[in-house]
Structure 1
């Protein structure tokens, strides 16, 4: 895609997201996932972008107690270009208490009728999740119009360099087949194909050793 004329890329940096930026991070990720097959299948069409933003606000609250959990690429004047959520080794799964407390908010995202499907998807992905200690990347997104310019890869390379330094692998699930080459260039490889239950789309687990 062509460069967005109002967002200069020179001089942007990678840093931890500030708590006050949670809404902006959620909105950015919602825009980035607007055409994501899994989100389109799980989230009702009515106000899908708003519902998806709610989901990513919830995801940040669940991630934020963990060190280095929410990272962004941002210009010096605070404009967010990309965002990534990370979970460190042994921290990828939220507790049953956290999940129970979040149920009303999940219902606002998926709708009451969509909650069983969301639960089945979560269980399926949990079953496929590797047991080996690793860094987990549940979500990463780049602002519309900036894909292909290196912002997303720069954001991820910072944590991946830390993984290399510590000798830790990394794991993600690609929900869009077109994103697989992007992750392969960062050293990930596809380990399986997971078909989501109920006739859902395919998800590709990817591992970086």
Structure 2
């Protein structure tokens, strides 16, 4: 079986990983609900470019597998200043959301009570090229973040709006901590947490 080549991402990986994330999230219920259908692919590209380059690479951790066929973007307890960056990017994220800006705000408000208040490694985004899904790339690209969180004695957290992902994340040691439907006709969403050490 192919052993994925996993390494920390660099700035040079951004175009490739953005392409992977756009393909992986093309029909994802959450982004379809929170980002305008008008010019959706371009909006999704810009959102992922900002998230990877301004949040993940500058304030968190990003790993790629097989030169970008899979990517995992984390924020960590050491992420200093990410809150300010999210605030600075707020107007641009609202512009990206377009006519779904209100739905995006409502979704964030609905998710907030289910997010941890203690220090965690937060898996903000993970994507695998659609034609490579099922090859173990997703687990391989997530594993370095989980391992680092374990070494630090810190739990991991994520959110997903695709029920098929729940079983996948459970295999990595995550358990559902909340299940709820986003307002305004939004998708069912699961909050999941993995205790340090599995």
State whether TM-score is above 0.5: yes
1:64 aligns with 2:57: yes
What SS is found at the alignment partner of 2:116?
A: coil
Q: Which has the larger radius of gyration?
A: 1
Q: How far does residue 159 in structure 1 lie from its aligned partner after superposition?
A: 1.8
Q: How much does 1:93 deviate? A: 8.5
Structure 1 unpaired stretches of 5+: 1-8
Q: Tell me if structure 2 keeps the 8 A contact 1:90–1:134.
A: no
The correspondence for 1:86, drawn from 48, 65, 74, is: 74
Does the CA-based 8 Å contact 2:33-2:100 persist in structure 1? Answer: no
Provide the residue aligned with 2:191 in structure 1: 205
Alignment of 1:1-209 (within 5 A): 10=2, 12-60=4-52, 61-67=54-60, 69-74=61-66, 79-89=67-77, 91=79, 94-95=82-83, 97-111=84-98, 113-209=99-195
| Deviation (angstroms), 1:65 | 2.0
RMSD: 2.1
* Offset at residue 189 of structure 1 (A): 0.7
1 or 2, which has the higher helix percentage? 2
| Aligned-residue offset at 1:12 | 3.8
Q: Matched residues in 1 for 2:10 and 2:82: separation?
A: 21
Q: How many residues align?
A: 194
Shift of the alpha carbon at 1:126? 2.2
Deviations 1:129-166 (A, max 9, x none): 11121110011010111111101101111221222222
* CA–CA distance in structure 1, aligned partners of residues 169 and 106 of structure 2: 26
Q: 1:13 to 1:196 in 2, by over 3 A?
A: same
